Amino acid sequence: MDIRIGHGYDVHALAEGLPLWLGGVKIEHTKGCVAHSDGDVAIHAICDAMLGALALGDIGKLFPDTDAAYKGIDSKILLRRVCDVVAERGYSISNIDCTIAMQRPKLRPHIDTMRAVLAEVMGIEVDRVSVKATTTERLGFEGREEGVSTHAVVLLIKHV
Ligand code: MG
């Protein structure tokens, strides 16, 4: 059995009046992520974790932000494509764990919806998808509500 671990980290700036997409879910808030895509920082970190596990670079390499094809794109489409890359190489997803750092709004009410949506897009059981959220106690750019960050780790398995 070949076991691969990957880590992903992503940050987006927040700006007033933009839609806020996190973990594939649209969340009501006064601010949203500034991005070429829909700015779903959680999905981007998860994609980078999977690509990292296979040493395939990052989503910026796969889906360049200079390419108009990805302007405003639903990040769930990017996630599905990354899952296809993982499957093409014979790996399956054992589990994913991610932590979203954001001061406001409280993300707890949205966590289980995010897990369900992510599991559906990735084609895995929901108990293999962990989403956690933390404030940063008003410290740093997340705490000042200037941006949002996400760390993700993933374990991939291939039976050989
Ligand atoms: Mg990103």
Distance, in Å, from the CA atom of 78 to the CA atom of 55, rounded to the nearest integer, reads: 17
Cα 141 to chain centroid, rounded: 19
CB atoms within 10 A of CB 64: 11
Question: 1 alpha carbon to ligand 1 midpoint, in Å?
Answer: 32
Strand partners, 78: none
The list of the chain residues with pLDDT below 50 reads none
| Integer CA distances (angstroms), 151 to 9, 68, 70, 136, 155, in order | 5, 27, 23, 13, 14
**pLDDT at position 65:** 82
Distant-in-sequence contacts of 136-139, Cβ < 8 A, 24+ apart = 136/101, 136/103, 138/103
**pLDDT at position 69:** 83
Cβ proximity of 6 and 49 under 8 Å: yes
Question: 82 alpha carbon to ligand 1 midpoint, in Å?
Answer: 14
Question: 19 alpha carbon to ligand 1 midpoint, in Å?
Answer: 15
Question: 159 alpha carbon to ligand 1 midpoint, in Å?
Answer: 31
**Of the candidates 71, 74, 85, which has an alpha carbon nearest to the alpha carbon of residue 23?**
74
Question: 43 alpha carbon to ligand 1 midpoint, in Å?
Answer: 8
Question: 44 alpha carbon to ligand 1 midpoint, in Å?
Answer: 5
Distance, in Å, from the CA atom of 136 to the CA atom of 138, rounded to the nearest integer, reads: 5
Question: 66 alpha carbon to ligand 1 midpoint, in Å?
Answer: 13
- pTM of the predicted structure, to 2 decimals: 0.97
**pLDDT at position 64:** 84
**pLDDT at position 134:** 98
The letter for the amino acid at 135 is T
